[in-house]
């Protein structure tokens, strides 16, 4: 699901997208944006140059106006959750506080459903880490770079 198709005010979505693009350049200096397609279960598909073969990573962007606690909680439609968790690439979730310029990250394969939400959605949570320069190498290592 595209960042811009969610119910964010346009300026929040634009700010989050800009923050994400700048962060991704720092985390993955050799990355190339392969696609940004509304049919994907994530916002970006990146191609990363690795020693043996290119790696692909999906990036899901979530805009917030308050820092998450140790876990980020959100609602999602069951079909979207299933697509996120069964994607054939690793999906990095960037949780971006657009008011404070704070960045957090999580992985889609660690999302845990927590119960039924409103209008057919599912409440989910995922453990998050504060995104600092020290974490960039950990993220690169997790995707095989």
Average pLDDT on 22-46 reads: 82
Kindly state whether residue 43 falls inside one of the protein's structural domains: yes
The per-residue pLDDT for 115 is 85
Kindly state whether residue 59 falls inside one of the protein's structural domains: yes
Q: Specify the pTM.
A: 0.89
**Distance (Å, whole) CA 120 – CA 131:** 32
**Distance (Å, whole) CA 90 – CA 63:** 20
Kindly state whether residue 124 falls inside one of the protein's structural domains: no
pLDDT tier at 1, thresholds 50, 70, 90: very low
Kindly state whether residue 79 falls inside one of the protein's structural domains: no
Note down the domain range covering 95.
Answer: 3-67+89-109+129-142
Sign of CA dihedral 82, 88, 93, 94: negative
Residue 3 has pLDDT above 70, yes or no: no
Average pLDDT on 22-37 reads: 83
Kindly state whether residue 25 falls inside one of the protein's structural domains: yes
Average pLDDT on 28-42 reads: 77
**Distance (Å, whole) CA 4 – CA 68:** 21
Kindly state whether residue 45 falls inside one of the protein's structural domains: yes
Percent of the chain with pLDDT over 70: 95
> For residue 119, what are the CA distances in angstroms to 3, 72, 83, 107, 114?
20, 20, 19, 25, 15
Kindly state whether residue 8 falls inside one of the protein's structural domains: yes
Q: How far is CA 104 from the centre of its chain?
A: 9
- State the total domains in the chain: 1
The per-residue pLDDT for 6 is 62
**Distance (Å, whole) CA 1 – CA 84:** 10
Kindly state whether residue 73 falls inside one of the protein's structural domains: no
pLDDT tier at 45, thresholds 50, 70, 90: confident
The answer to whether residues 47 and 56 touch, using CB atoms and an 8 Å cutoff, is yes
80 or 108: which carries more pLDDT confidence?
A: 108
**In this structure, what CATH number is given to the domain that contains residue 137?**
3.40.1350
């Amino acid at each position: 699901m595209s960042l811009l198709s969610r119910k964010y005010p346009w300026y929040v979505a634009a700010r989050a997208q800009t923050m994400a693009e700048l962060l991704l350049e720092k985390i993955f200096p050799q990355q190339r944006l392969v696609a940004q397609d509304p049919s994907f279960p994530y916002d970006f598909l990146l191609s990363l140059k690795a020693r043996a073969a290119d790696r692909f990573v999906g990036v899901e962007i979530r805009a917030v106006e308050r820092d998450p606690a140790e876990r980020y909680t959100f609602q999602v439609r069951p079909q979207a959750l299933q697509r996120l968790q069964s994607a054939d690439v690793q999906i990095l979730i960037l949780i971006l506080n657009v008011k404070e310029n704070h960045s957090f990250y999580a992985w889609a394969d660690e999302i845990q459903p927590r119960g039924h939400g409103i209008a057919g959605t599912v409440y989910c949570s995922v453990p998050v880490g504060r995104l600092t320069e020290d974490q960039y190498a950990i993220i690169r290592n997790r995707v095989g770079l």
